[in-house]
Amino acid sequence: MQSNTGTSFAPAKLPGTADQRTVFEAIRNAKDPEKKMFGYRRSFMIWAYVNALICMMMTVLKFRDALAGFGWLLDYIVPLSCFLQLISGLALFKIPVRVPFVAVGVLVFYAYAIFDGILINKDIGRTLILTLGWQTSHLVDYLMLGLSIIQAVYCGPEIRKWVKVTILIFYGFSGLIGLMQLANVGWALNTFATNLEMSIFRPTGTTDYPSQLGFEGFAGMILCGAPIIRRNLRWFEWGGVMFFALVILAAQYRSMYYAGLVVGLGAILYFQFRHSKNLGMVFTTVILACVSIPLILFPKKFEYGLRPATNDPALQARQESWKQLQPIIKARPLTGIGPDPNLMLSSQLMKVDKWSSTSLDNYYITTFACFGYFGLVLIGILFLSILGGCVLRAAGDSPYVKEFAFIGIVTTFSILVLSLTGNSLVYPPVGFFFALVLGLGAPTWLEELESNRVTGLVVAIRKVLRRPLRMLGVNA
């Protein structure tokens, strides 16, 4: 029996674990299995898509003065909506909630942050407020959004296209605004906040800082170029890659030149050379021309991006703030000082202007100062588990799982590089995109059954322990 999308919902023989077979036996034995399966899976896919759409809206609404309060309210609506979706799907229709190892790691990190804060500050109330403050509250949004998307992808693959197109629309619009700001288009400058107060102007698009516009350029570029892992790109996909590369260039956030242009374009061109060396040379030449010609023709427009970092007063203030942390780090190297939002603003006394050095601008140093070596180890385990999961997915058979696994790997490396000079994950455009990509890379129920690969944490543990338990006479 085939669905409207051509996917079989009632295979003659169901592989997989006992838990999986129980769920799909119930579907197969229903009076109208195709209609029943298609109906409820579509409703939960739409619910998850609305959650993702709200998150994309938050990247715009938070930074518009008139709507800023509504944007902050969505911070609490999104995780609640995702949680209700997960519980409803599990309770009403037995749609499993798949919790990857990295999600467990995030919860462990939260538990450690609370314990560390209580140990250092000896104040439960203050610790809870600071741990769940604005720095880390986004992590709850990211976690719940990722679980929501994983459940929706489990129901069907259509949501991948829905969310991908939505991200490209939002980030493409932001990039277009950024390019118009660079060209001094009046309404783009007046409608969206920019760095006009600085001695050197930089576009921000619909965000509130050039680093976020630069990351949106990277996100759009890697989404357009990701199909290269399984086939040659079409002409409009290459057009999207070059458009978003120009957005990164226009943002003039130097760290994104490395974390975006080098990491993103390098990965795309690597696979292009694997498909065809001749085409690889052609596209490399075209991309280099598209990137270099604006720099040559309009050097004044890119003055900040081309300025040597040694002459950047903001960088000098950033380095000084790192030096000021050394006594704190030496005093508590294992546990740090506990969660402290004030640490994000420690260098404001040295500010050169409104936009320079308002934070430590180093994710690793911030984590080390707040949570010590233990915190760094936990963060390291989280990133390694993300990379490991993406590599395992990329080794599978589904071309679409491989595509999003590729995006996940490249995005992880980009964030690791960006974190050297910024607190990357506290910004919604970065965190929401990361959560969506990792969620969209999860396999559907049919892909999981066909590959006979188990991704759920509990089932994975059971699979590992099955052989020794059977040797002991226990049927697991």
Measured over all CA atoms, what is the biggest interatomic distance in the chain, rounded to whole angstroms?
76
Q: Using only C-alpha atoms, what is the Rg of the chain?
A: 24
Q: What is the pLDDT of residue 5?
A: 41
Backbone angles phi, psi at 228, to 5 degrees: -60, -20
Exposure of 130 by Cβ count < 10 A (0-12 exposed, 13-18 middle, 19+ buried)?
buried
What integer pLDDT is reported at residue 346 of this predicted model?
Answer: 45
Phi, psi of 198 (to 5 degrees): -80, 160
Q: Label residue 2 left, alpha or beta by phi (over 0 means left) and psi (-120 to 50 means alpha).
A: beta
pLDDT at 28: 47
Q: What is the dihedral of CA 206, 208, 214, 219, to 10 degrees?
A: -60
- Rounded to whole angstroms, the Cα distance separating 151 from 140 reads 17
314 close to 254: Cβ distance less than 8 angstroms: no
Which residues, in sequence order, are bridge partners of residue 8?
A: 2
Q: What is the pTM of this model?
A: 0.80
Q: Please give the DSSP secondary-structure letter assigned to residue 209.
A: S
The DSSP line for 384-440 is: HHHHHHHHHHHTSS-HHHHHHHHHHHHHHHHHHHHTTSS-GGGSHHHHHHHHHHHHH
Q: Residue ranges of the chain with pLDDT lower than 50?
A: 1-18, 20-21, 27-28, 30-35, 134, 344-358, 453-458, 476
Domain residue limits, the chain: 18-471
